[in-house]
Amino acid sequence: MEEKKTYIIEQVGQMYLRHGIRSVTMDDVATELGISKKTLYHFFKDKAELVDEVVNHILMKDECYHSQEDQSLNAIDRFFWIRKHIFEMIKIVHNNLEYDLKKSYPETFKKITDYKRQRIYIDNLSIMEQGKKEGLFREEVDSELIAKLAVGRFLLVFNPDNEIFRDKEIKDIRLFDRMLDYHFHGVCTEKGITYFKKQLNNVQNEN
């Protein structure tokens, strides 16, 4: 029974990522998955509960992804590891996904926003402290300040509602790369900048 529910959640998650949430009805879900609406409502009392379960599953998978981070990576390579994850996500996430959540499911939207804030802050604080020990980042830089600035910068820039960048620009990994360049020039030692430029050139040639 639980396997069936997990299967539905995973499949609906893919539908939401491709088409957004608002445009996918419970009828669409039943038809796409080849199940009756009665079966669907057996597992989820309404669409709001289904949406919340899908978001919980996505956040759980993201946590699992981060838990698999290679512990041998240096601080700068950890950023590129995160970049790879972001690059994969922006290719498949529908532009209106978060807009749909914010408008129709505000509590679930807040759950995602709170998760992002915590994830970005924790990752950046950890990376900053590691980079200082490795001689890649300047010792005098305030790690906590940088981590908080990263939260604000990411949530502001990558939210199309703020109309700073167009959707097309937000989905272009080059925007993230420019932000990385700006960030690293502010925190890196000479050794760090040299390594960053080398790695950035490598990953851009792979894309």
What is the reported pTM? 0.86
**Each residue's pLDDT tens digit, 23-38:** 999 999 999 999 999 9
**Each residue's pLDDT tens digit, 116-175:** 999 999 999 999 999 999 999 999 999 999 999 999 998 888 877 788 888 888 888 889
Residues 128 and 176 in one domain: yes
Residues 91 and 7 in one domain: no
Dihedral of CA 118/120/123/127: which sign? Answer: negative
CATH of the domain at 37: 1.10.10.60
Domain count of the chain?
2
User: Is residue 165 one of the residues assigned to a domain?
Assistant: yes
User: Is residue 64 one of the residues assigned to a domain?
Assistant: no
Q: Give the structural domain span for 51.
A: 1-55
Please choose, from the candidates 205, 160, 201, 207, the residue with its C-alpha nearest in 3D space to the C-alpha of residue 76: 201
Residues 100 and 33 in one domain: no
